[in-house]
Amino acid sequence: MAKILVTGGCGYIGSHTIVDLVENGHEVISADNLSRGFAVMNQRVADLLGLEIVNYQVDLSDRIQARQLFEDHNDIDGIIHFAAYKSVPESVEQPLMYYRNNIDSLVNVLELAQEFGVKNVVFSSSCSVYGNADELPVTESAPMKEAESPYAHTKQIGEGICARFTKAFPDFKIVLLRYFNPVGAHASAKIGEMNKRPENLVPIVTQTAIGLRDSMTVFGTDYDTKDGSCVRDYIHVSDIAHAHTLAMQQSLKNALPGNCEVYNLGTGEGVTVLELIAAFEKVSGLKLNYTIGGRRAGDVIKVYANNSKAEKELGWKPVYDIETMMQTAWAWEKALAETPAGMDS
């Protein structure tokens, strides 16, 4: 059993990863300043596991606060670093806030990992580092294009910091995980994505279906794809969570080829927006109220992953198909609706 610090542990992917880590025999402590995460998520995780997970409400971009956490827990074996702002539109409007928060928190975590001898780190990255990829499916060796947003740029910078850090200090190991499009919720419907104003497709679909929205818009059906709508690689959040557990375990065992490895996390299959809507309608038995709009500026037409490296080196393979992703997302939306205070309880 290893003791793992999960930063951003009250967020969407962080909470699911805590569950997966504990279910695989690890001890976990969480750090989340709750600026974007939800305190109730920590309680929901505890209820799901039957085990209290202590969350430290610290701002990791504040060196003093971050250092206190490491002093209180000087026996950490590994760090999984999620803590970051992630809204693309907000990052365009407030770029400096994103650079300060996302970069400062990473640098503080790495400096403290070095000081306290925590030599295994998993960094939460994104397929947004690729920009508009030239070839599909996207492999980890695809060149990074100019970032489409300050958010994506912070992930590119973060990866560069990790690579240079491990080059300077080769006894440290960092795994960079590039997620494609995380969706769905835990099969128990006890935890999932909590966002009152989501920007991603699936929670917009479920909120429309349950009546929180009158309708939704599909942006563009005249692209060069099978049905004219954009193509994405949707991956279940529990599959992503398990990849973090496997990455940490392989790092702890010194079983990775190098000390800074990068892996795509996707199903390897492209799904159009209209196909996703059809899958949701099939599993829910509902007809979704949506309209067709024009193309949206900045949307990538088509992107999906080559995930063979993660399968080979991490022993990871996604298990959820698109219909199961929609089933769990819908079950979570209904569970939220049945909770008197919704996202606040």
- For the record, the structure tokens of 237 come out as 């959040």
Q: Is the distance from CB of 124 to CB of 177 less than 8 angstroms?
A: yes
Is residue 168 helix, strand or coil? helix
Specify whether 56 is catalytic. no
> Radius of gyration over alpha carbons of the chain, in Å?
19
Helix-then-strand count for the chain, H and E? 12, 13
Round to whole Å and give the CA distance between 212 and 192: 17
Catalytic residue among 56, 85, 98, 151: 151
Q: How far is CA 78 from the centre of its chain?
A: 18
DSSP state of 99: I
Query: How does strand 231-232 pair with strand 271-272?
Result: antiparallel
- With 0-12 / 13-18 / 19 or more C-beta atoms within 10 angstroms meaning exposed / middle / buried, residue 116 is middle
Q: Is the distance from CB of 232 to CB of 271 less than 8 angstroms?
A: yes
State the Cα torsion 126-131-136-139 to the nearest 10°: -50
Residues labelled catalytic: 151
